[in-house]
Amino acid sequence: MNPCTTAEPASSIRFAGRVAIVTGGGGSLGRNHALLLASRGAAIVVNDLGTGLDGAGSSDAAAQAVAAEIVDGGGRAIANGDDVADPQGAERLIGLALDAFGRVDIVINNAGILRDRSFVKMDLADFRAVLDVHLMGAVHVTKAAWRVMRAQNYGRIVLTTSHVGLHGNFGQANYAAAKMALVGLMDAIKLEGERYGILVNAIAPLAASRMAAAKDMHRLKALLDPALVSAAVAYLSSEACKTTGIVLAAGGGYFGRAEVVESSGVRCEAGRHVTPEDVAIWWNVITDLQSARPYHDATERLTELFPQLKANEDEAV
């Protein structure tokens, strides 16, 4: 049965008493994330530097407008125009949330820019600028919030990856690298956060955002309503979510899990000398993903491949 055909559930996911920071919250996806969480009781810090798509310029007008929209609707919100690519800006953002609302429960890392160009023509400064906002911006804000979440033994981190990072796209090497790096960040810090009640997940959105419009996707605007993505983000931000380390793809009414997987591969007998010709002969089996599966962490994969590693570890303990 298609779950989308069932009766709509009663509204039970609420954020009363919770404080959420939404970076890039001044428009499109970020605005929808902020409005949805605010409508369900969260106090919101709307962060937006107010730049163009390429990161040029700055204005806090967009952040102020979204914060005002929340307040006018009876919610609690403040605006912030700090640059998350600057670690000091991230620290100020977290400090503002603490000063205004006393805690930080949710961080939605949504800020980003585009500087598309084919790899051979791309200036390295443009490559670095995109990484600085998407990847390092998320690192700066998450790290600044981490100590607060650890102290309160609760937190929800949502990173924004992309199908471009997961699958690639011509002319977006910088964007793809940054977005896939966020998956690696998630996979590492999810392990560190679990003992402190901090869950770290990622969203891979497909929506009619400013960035999507730049890729001529505005024709699909009616289908790709950002609000459909925000529903998934709100769930990942909630107490109802008990999962960590998930990449949730969402857009146009579709929701699915994306994973890095590894095939069963080929195991040679111990001591066998392996040649490049052997790899060529085994290639179809090596690359067959029929029985591929994800792993919780690198240790799980390695100990499955080499059980003696686990035995050695147990002996050491």
- Read off the pLDDT of residues 45-71 as tens digits, 9 standing for 90 and up: 999 998 666 556 567 899 999 999 999
pLDDT, position 11: 63
Q: How many structural domains are present in the chain?
A: 2
pLDDT, position 87: 97
pLDDT, position 50: 83
Residue 269 is assigned to a structural domain of this protein: no
- Beta-bridged to residue 108, according to DSSP, are 22, 158
Residue 118 is assigned to a structural domain of this protein: yes
Ranking 155-164, 165-174, 304-313 by mean pLDDT, the lowest is 304-313
For the entire predicted model, the pTM comes to: 0.90
Whether residue 184 contacts residue 190, with contact meaning beta carbons closer than 8 Å, is answered with: no
Angle (CA) 14-19-22 rounded to 5° is 100
Residue 267 is assigned to a structural domain of this protein: no
Residue 115 is assigned to a structural domain of this protein: yes
Query: pLDDT tens, 100-149?
Result: 999 999 999 999 999 999 999 999 999 999 999 999 999 999 999 999 99
Whether residues 120 and 34 fall in one domain: yes
Question: In CATH, what number is assigned to the domain containing residue 191?
Answer: 3.40.50.720
pLDDT, position 316: 47
Active site residues: 175
Whether residues 159 and 90 fall in one domain: yes
Whether residues 281 and 250 fall in one domain: no
Which comes out higher in pLDDT, residue 79 or 311?
79
Whether residues 244 and 291 fall in one domain: no
Query: pLDDT tens, 200-227?
Result: 999 999 876 555 444 555 566 667 888 8
Residue 195 is assigned to a structural domain of this protein: yes
Query: Across residues 252-277, what is the average pLDDT?
Result: 90
pLDDT confidence band for 317 (50 / 70 / 90):
very low
Whether residues 242 and 196 fall in one domain: yes
Looking at the predicted structure, is the pLDDT value of residue 308 above 70? no
In the Cβ-directed half-sphere of 160, how many Cα atoms lie within 13 Å?
28
Which residue range forms the structural domain that includes residue 287? 276-316
Q: How many CB atoms lie within 10 A of CB 41?
A: 14
